[in-house]
Amino acid sequence: MRFAVIVFPGSNCDIDMFHAVKDELGAEAEYVWHDEESLDRFDGILLPGGFSYGDYLRTGAIAQFSHVMDGVKKAAEAGKPVLGVCNGFQILQEAGLLPGAMRRNESLKFICKQEALKVVNNETMFSSSYGKDEEIIIPIAHGAGNYYCDEETLKQLEEENRIIFRYKNNPNGSVSDIAGIMNAKGNVLGMMPHPERAVSELLGSADGLKLFQSIVKSWRENHVLSS
């Protein structure tokens, strides 16, 4: 499986993401600059964290207009797995690929620490290697990770089982403790915690590796069925 690691001006977690999928997962990975339009040669798309375009206007607001986002949207429409982490999640929201918005943390402070999450839905291409309601440790690092959506959207997310991860001890004020959600089609996941920083016990947790393993497992199963 071949992953594209999208790099925007201001990305700073792209190297972590590349290391996670290439060195720890053993998959192919390639850095893709924001002005590239075609992502057809890739099987999965990864949007890493950082401060794309300096977070001017709003987090992710300018990055959504990058040429590469046409390729990201095309990949999403084709059913390929698309993962946006932290700033990547914010970009997916701004691009209309995921609902809701990000507000400043309730504390109005940047938070960087290990955080306990609950796997709410383990029947997705991103979470099938986890157990139902499994508690995992994934680090967070953000100043605007307070997920917000209106009551109608929240109801829809819950009814369609699209909330994948919830915080055990909500660190930022997110609605319904939401840490990660997916689209209706089930192939686009956005999450504020950083699974790419939790792929080895040397980093304090290897719980994030299962997320990437889930993606590869799903891809292999679909690849076998279609071949």
d(CA 62, CA 117): 30
Q: Which residues contact 126 (CB under 8 A, 6 or more apart)?
A: 81, 83, 164, 182, 189, 211, 214, 215
Per the structure, the count of domains in the chain is: 1
Catalytic annotation, pick one of 13, 34, 142, 196: 196
With a pLDDT cut of 70, the percent of the chain lying above it is 98
d(CA 16, CA 79): 25
What DSSP assignment string belongs to 97-146? SS--EEE--TTSS-EEEEEEEEES--SSTTTTTSPTT-EEEEEEEESS-E
Amino acid at 143: G
pLDDT for 188-201, tens place per residue?
999 999 999 999 99
Residue 86 annotated among the catalytic residues of the structure: yes
CA 222 to chain centre: 21
pLDDT band, residue 226 (cuts 50/70/90)? low
Catalytic annotation, pick one of 86, 94, 142, 149: 86
Distances (CA, A) of 212 to 6, 8, 189: 16, 22, 12
Q: Are the C-beta atoms of 12 and 50 separated by less than 8 Å?
A: yes
In this model, does residue 22 exceed pLDDT 60? Answer: yes
Residue 5 has phi, psi (to 5 degrees) of -105, 105
Buried b (16+ CB within 10 A) or exposed e, 179-210: bbbbbeebbbbbbbbbbbbbbeeebebebbbb
Give the CATH number of the domain where residue 208 resides.
3.40.50.880
Q: Check residue 123 and give its pLDDT.
A: 97
Helix (H, G, I), strand (E, B) or coil at 60: coil
Amino acid at 144: A
Residue 142 annotated among the catalytic residues of the structure: no
pLDDT for 102-141, tens place per residue?
999 999 999 999 999 999 999 999 999 999 999 999 999 9
In this model, does residue 159 exceed pLDDT 60? Answer: yes
DSSP 22: I
Strand 188-191 relative to strand 82-85: parallel, antiparallel, unpaired?
A: parallel
pLDDT for 36-88, tens place per residue?
989 999 999 999 999 988 887 788 888 888 999 999 999 999 999 999 999 99
Q: Are the C-beta atoms of 53 and 9 separated by less than 8 Å?
A: yes
Q: Map tokens 């850095």 to a residue.
A: 31
Helix or strand holding residue 163 (H, E): strand 163-167
Domain that holds residue 114: 2-226
> What value does the mean pLDDT take over residues 166-171?
98
Q: Check residue 57 and give its pLDDT.
A: 75
